[in-house]
Chains A and B, each alone.
Chain A
């Protein structure tokens, strides 16, 4: 059994502990109310603008199939062996070159982030002459699976005769 003095000591210790706990709880409560600037929101806006801008930029060719970067991508998937402006390079290679060039014009993407750009046909499969599916991918595929990745998407829509085709372009980024 405890003596009266020992009990008093215990009471004081419990009191001190309670005061410390109240202090810590109050600090945590105040900190939980604090606002932080959401950097992700800004990066999402930046990323979306970046993808839209790249897609709408002129490629330097005047043929209908190659005029904008988005046209080049469409050409690279639907007519991969087409040669823009009668040149030697084929659409698929040109599209890869242009998208890489424009994306890497952004310092922020080059220095602070890793990226992955992928285009896939929506509701159909585009195939090469040998029957293999045509893929359009640039960058590090691992970024798509990264936990903290951000993504922007863009739809490329084209009508050919009575058929309409939709391609979905995705740009993933994550911190380097």
Chain B
């Protein structure tokens, strides 16, 4: 049997080399495309999460600087929530529509006092005020939201006392 010459073998090995090389470059390009695609997807979801939480932070700032919620007069805003104002807002029909004109749409505020250890959470209504410790405005429990917790002081108007609490401010996804 006649063996193959050195030249054809060399040609074959060169061809194999190029095939492997092309395959390798192809794999790298595909991996790169997949990686960039995943990165793009995760970045855009991260961007929207950041935007979402920034809206919640802005909303928290707006609440703490608004006389609708805080103790103070038109001249000086005291960065302390006023429970009588929270109560009044809570008891007003259609208050969320009204506040939408000031703060925009799709948000909620919840304030909960935490000073009394072991005290049960009691939602404030016009019937039990001031013997209550939780106020909730414009909450829609079935909607997805991003929220921001912040320690706050709450001025208890009837007792003329300052208590400590946690304010949860959130925004709903569109």
Binding site for B on A (CB under 8 A): 5, 8-9, 12, 15-16, 19-20, 23, 26-27, 30-31, 34-37, 42, 45-46, 49-50, 52-54, 56-58, 68, 101-102, 105-106
Report the count of interface residues on B (CB-CB < 8 A): 37
Q: How distant is the Cα of A99 from the Cα of B74 in the complex, in angstroms? A: 33
Q: Is the CB of B164 within 8 A of A54?
A: yes
Q: Please report the C-alpha to C-alpha distance between residue A54 and residue B162 in the assembled complex, in whole angstroms.
A: 10
Output the least CB separation between A52 and chain B (Å).
Answer: 8
In the docked arrangement, what's the CA distance between A101 and B31, Å?
A: 55
Chain B residue numbers with a CB within 8 Å of A9 are: 17
A16–B153 contact, CB under 8 A? no
Interface CB pairs A-B, < 8 A, 23: A8-B17, A9-B17, A15-B21, A16-B24, A23-B31, A34-B42, A34-B46, A37-B50, A45-B150, A49-B151, A49-B152, A50-B151, A53-B151, A53-B153, A53-B165, A57-B153, A57-B162, A57-B164, A58-B161, A105-B115, A105-B164, A106-B114, A106-B166
Q: Is the CB of B117 within 8 A of A105?
A: yes
Q: How far is the CA of A20 from the CA of B75 in the complex (A)?
A: 66
Contact of B39 among A30, A37, A105 (CB under 8 A): A30
- The answer to whether A19 and B24 touch (CB under 8 A), given A30-B36, A35-B43, A58-B162, is yes
How far apart are B55's CB and chain A's nearest CB, in angstroms? 14
Q: Are B17 and A12 in contact (CB under 8 A)?
A: yes
Within B95-145, the residues touching A (CB, 8 Å) are: 114-115, 117
Complex partner residue of A37 from B13, B49, B115, B153, CB under 8 angstroms: B49
Pick the 10 closest A-B CB pairs, nearest first: A50-B151, A53-B151, A105-B114, A57-B164, A49-B151, A58-B161, A58-B162, A56-B153, A23-B28, A53-B153
Check B46–A58 contact: CB distance below 8 A. Answer: no
Q: B53 interface residue, CB < 8 Å from A?
A: yes
Q: Is B25 an interface residue (CB 8 A)?
A: yes
The main secondary structure of chain A at its interface with chain B is: helix
Q: State the main secondary structure of chain B at its contact with A.
A: helix
* Per-residue contact bits, chain B 21-54, to A (CB 8 Å; 1 contact, 0 not): 1001100100110011001001100110110010
Answer yes or no: B171 CB below 8 A from chain A CBs.
no
Query: What is the chain A residue whose CB lies nearest that of B114?
Result: A105
> Are B149 and A23 in touch, CB under 8 angstroms?
no
Q: What are the residues of chain B within 8 A of A31 when measuring CB–CB?
A: 39
Assess the B163–A58 pair: CB atoms within 8 A: yes
Q: In the assembled complex, how far is the CB of residue A143 from the closest CB belonging to chain B, in whole angstroms?
A: 19
Selected from A15, A30, A58, the residue in CB contact (under 8 A) with B35 is A30
Select from chain B the residue with minimum beta-carbon distance to A68: B162
Known: A50-B151, A53-B152, A58-B161. A19 touches B25 (CB 8 A): yes
Give the CA-CA distance A75 to B36 in the complex, in Å. 61
| Docked complex Cα distance between A19 and B35 (Å) | 16
* Interchain CB contact (< 8 A) of B43 among A16, A34, A46, A50: A34
Measured CB to CB, the closest approach of chain B to A96, in angstroms, equals 16
Cα-based distance from A9 to B46 in the complex (angstroms): 45
B10 touches A5 (CB 8 A): yes
- Smallest CB-CB separation from B162: which chain A residue? A58
